[in-house]
């Protein structure tokens, strides 16, 4: 396994506690859903470039 990218699930200036609890990759591999546990308790959605694996905020 090769690390392609390290990406934040929250804003960089946040002092709150959080960690990834679960991730799900869509069937077509284009969308990654990550559950953020801690002070946020939210689902973060990223677009994924298939041929590189790089993630981008779906914002």
**Is residue 14 pLDDT above 70, yes or no?**
no
In eight-state DSSP terms, residue 51 is: T
Domain ranges of the chain: 18-57
In degrees and rounded to multiples of 5, residue 42 shows phi and psi of -140, 165
% of the chain residues with pLDDT over 70: 93
Give the model's pLDDT for residue 33: 93
> Residues 40, 10: contact at Cβ < 8 Å?
yes
Instruction: Report pLDDT digits (tens) over 31-50.
Output: 999 888 877 788 889 999 99
> Residues 55, 5: contact at Cβ < 8 Å?
yes
């Amino acid at each position: 396994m090769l690390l392609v990218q390290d990406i934040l699930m929250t804003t960089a200036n946040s002092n709150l506690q959080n960690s990834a609890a679960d991730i799900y990759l869509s069937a077509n591999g284009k969308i990654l859903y990550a559950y953020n546990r801690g002070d946020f308790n939210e689902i973060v959605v990223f677009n994924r470039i298939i041929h590189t694996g790089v993630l981008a905020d779906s914002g």
